[in-house]
Structure formats: C-alpha cells, structure tokens
Amino acid sequence: MIAAEIYIGGSIGAIILAPTIQIAVSIDPDHNDVGLTDFEGLVLIDFEILPHYNPSYGRELSYYQKTTSNKVISISNSQTIIINSKGRQL
C-alpha cells in the first residue's frame, strides 16, 4: 500500500512543480535579480501556476501565454489548486 503524499507549495513552491519556472521571472514582481539561467522545474505537473495573480498582470500574462506551450493557471492569494487522482480543482 502506498501512503498518500501531501505537498503544500506557496508562491515559488507552487511554480517549481511545473515543467519550467520561467513564469517567475517573466511576470512582475519577481524579476531575475540573481541571474538564473536554468529555468527547468520539477515536472510534477503538466501546467504552470501563476500565484499572487492580480488583474494588473493581464498584459504580461497574455504575452507570456504566447511564449509557452504549457497551460497557465493563475490563482489569487485567496485561491488554491488541489491536485489528486481525480484531477485538479481550483
């Protein structure tokens, strides 16, 4: 029997689950101040998460979505994504 695993990732902890963390340096307020060059994520999910979504990110998010082949799910500070064997829900 395999025990259920629980992972709680807030902010970059959610972003890192995706195939790439590029979204973290592409949309305000998190700029690449440390000069990262490898943006590979853990690839535990097949979509990207944009936490802390604010409508003011609309233009940047629209542009970013054109540059990635991954689905992007934006969540505000009052939302969560639950992923389990039945799929995902917001």
Residue 1 falls inside a structural domain: no
Beta carbons of 72 and 48 less than 8 angstroms apart: yes
Q: Pull the structure tokens for residue 74.
A: 């934006």
pLDDT tens for residues 47-74? 999 999 999 999 999 999 999 999 999 9
Whether the model clears a pTM of 0.85, i.e. scores above it, the answer is no
Residue 26 falls inside a structural domain: yes
For the chain, the distance separating the N- and C-terminal CA atoms, rounded to the nearest angstrom, is 28
Residue 6 falls inside a structural domain: no
pLDDT tens for residues 14-28? 999 999 999 988 887
Residue 68 falls inside a structural domain: yes
* The pLDDT value given to residue 84: 75
Number of structural domains (the chain) is 1
CATH number for the domain harbouring residue 77: 3.40.50.880
Domain of 42 in residue numbering reads as 12-89
Residue 2 falls inside a structural domain: no
Active site residues: 11, 52
Q: Which long-range contacts (CB under 8 A, 24 or more apart) does 9-12 make?
A: 10/51, 11/51, 11/52
What string of DSSP letters covers 34-59?
T-----B---SSSEEEE-S--GGGHH
Residue 4 falls inside a structural domain: no
Above pLDDT 70, what percent of the chain? 89
Name the band, by pLDDT with cuts 50, 70 and 90, for residue 88. confident
